[in-house]
Amino acid sequence: ETGVTQTPRHLVMGMTNKKSLKCEQHLGHNAMYWYKQSAKKPLELMFVYNFKEQTENNSVPSRFSPECPNSSHLFLHLHTLQPEDSALYLCASSQVGSSYEQYFGPGTRLTVT
């Protein structure tokens, strides 16, 4: 269960705050993903990074800004969020071109007040 780690596990922030979510994978994978999980949309893909290049941005508002400095680390920078952005944010990694199995992190439970 330590292949993909996420910090923090819980985050409460006001609408004017700026915070960042961090994800790290120790599996040697070449792709990383951000998902938003809420009651309305159980597993909503936000961003895909394949070999550190962003290959997918699923119409995500600009208040979410991803960063992938290398194939092992992925960040999600948050600013001026809305209460409806409260959700569980899951990071995942996979080996594109090989098994494609996605390994998920434990998630960050975000509450926007």
The binding site for another protein (CB under 8 A) comprises: 31, 33, 41-43, 45, 48, 50, 55-56, 90, 96-97, 100-102, 104-107
Q: Which is nearer to another protein, 17 or 102 (CB)?
A: 102
**Token reading at 48:** 């895909």
CA 75/CA 24 separation, integer angstroms: 9
Coarse DSSP helix, strand, coil percentages of the chain, rounded to the nearest 5 percent:
5, 55, 40
Smallest gap from residue 16 Cβ to another protein (A): 30
**Token reading at 78:** 């948050």
Smallest gap from residue 13 Cβ to another protein (A): 22
Smallest gap from residue 88 Cβ to another protein (A): 10
Q: Cα-atom radius of gyration of the chain, to the nearest Å?
A: 13
Q: Which is nearer to another protein, 14 or 42 (CB)?
A: 42
